[in-house]
Amino acid sequence: MTSKERVLAAMRREQPDRMPIHIRGVRVWDSDWVATRDISYRPLIDAVIEHCDVIPVAGVGGIESPLLTTATEEITELRVIDAGEWDIHRAVIHTPKGDLSQDYWQSKTRDLPMVRKYFVQNPEHVERVLSVPYLPPRPDPSGYFELRDQWPDHLVICGCPQAAEMVHDLLGTENFGFFWAEHRSLLFQLREAFQERVMAVLEVLLTAGVGPVFGTNGVEQVAPPIHSPQTYREFVLPTFRDYCARIHARGGLLHVHCHNKVNALLEDFAAVGWDVLHPLEPPLMGDVDLADAKRRVGGELCLEGNIQIGELYAAPTDQVVTLVEDAIAAGKPGGGFILCPTASPHTPTLSHLTVNNYLAMIKTAARLRDY
């Protein structure tokens, strides 16, 4: 099998020639990413190219507006404010009912970027969001098609927006929690508006021939333990039913990335039509037992995971080997499993221990991957 055939078979819950090995976040298809990595990444990059299943991911152009409407192109002002060790990238949207603004802080050193102020702070801001006319965006999947042509023997995933996540990202986690308690109806009003917009984008992509695999986020910011399983079922899951049905009607699959403690929701994910779930975090970061998940939903969901990124960074190497062996024993039988870390390598440099742990993971998986 080619890597593409192998990964597709696993995602369809079939048994391929061997278990796919995917090292998430090692973007070997991205020459700029590779060129800007510290030399400490080189052994990992080489091992991924030689032994692993590379799964490139492409975004979609033309849908950058946080409101998913081209109307913002003429009414958005961007400013950069020098704040010492940080640059504040301030976006101001001049809506018909008043301004909305967001502050995105970008470090001049090595700190991770963050949003410090979100567009929606109070109920009046929701009214401002909805006052902006909806002019359908012009999705541009050309980057996806270029990547698919460049990597014909590998499965390329097309990243797509998700309505509930777009609502969350207008408010941030703290404000979303406040609105859920005090202004819940406004969240649903926003969700319905964004669901219409997201589905229009999806239809354009499907019509253009994107596929077979689409990728999106599962809105982990509304998943347990931040919110209850019932909150997730009420707010997030309904947005996936039409989403998955539309993709499946065209013969496609949906890959969903969703951190946090999702054990109570596994059957719900399968019921709304998810095809692949990553990362299935084990305790303590998560609460998923991989063998139990395989028994419960392995026939309906391809399971991708679940080697905890923290263990790859800091655990003794022999412990990582044991974790990989245990994950393969739990997930591999019968197919429908992709071995993968729970997150991407996220530091500018990798320690010797981290590199050795990644290489031990890959070596162990290569030894045990054949069916």
Q: How far is CA 150 from the centre of its chain?
A: 22
Per-residue pLDDT at 306: 95
* pLDDT tens digits along 9-22: 999 999 999 999 99
Asked if 13 and 335 count as a contact pair (C-beta separation under 8 A), the reply is: yes
Q: What is the mean pLDDT of the chain?
A: 97
- Rounded Cα distance between 44 and 59, Å, is 24
The yes/no answer on whether domain 3-70+120-368 falls in CATH 3.40.1160.10 is no
> 161: cis peptide before it, omega within 30°?
no
Residue 109: pLDDT band by 50, 70, 90 thresholds?
Answer: confident
- Rounded Cα distance between 328 and 317, Å, is 17
Please give the single-letter amino acid code of residue 230. Q
Give the mean pLDDT of 143-151.
Answer: 97
Per-residue pLDDT at 64: 93
Is the model's pLDDT at 144 over the cut of 90?
yes
- Rounded Cα distance between 148 and 157, Å, is 9
Tokens of 291: 């063998």
Per-residue pLDDT at 217: 97
- Is residue 217 classed as helix, strand or coil in its secondary structure? strand
Per-residue pLDDT at 363: 98
* pLDDT tens digits along 51-97: 999 999 999 999 999 999 999 999 999 999 999 999 999 999 999 99
Asked if 91 and 41 count as a contact pair (C-beta separation under 8 A), the reply is: no
Per-residue pLDDT at 126: 98
Q: What percent of the chain has pLDDT over 70?
A: 100
Please give the single-letter amino acid code of residue 93. I
Residue 111: pLDDT band by 50, 70, 90 thresholds?
Answer: confident
| Helix intervals (H) in 183-264 | 184-208, 229-235, 237-249
**Domain residue limits, the chain:** 3-70+120-368
* pLDDT tens digits along 244-294: 999 999 999 999 999 999 999 999 999 999 999 999 999 989 999 999 999
Is the model's pLDDT at 110 over the cut of 90?
no
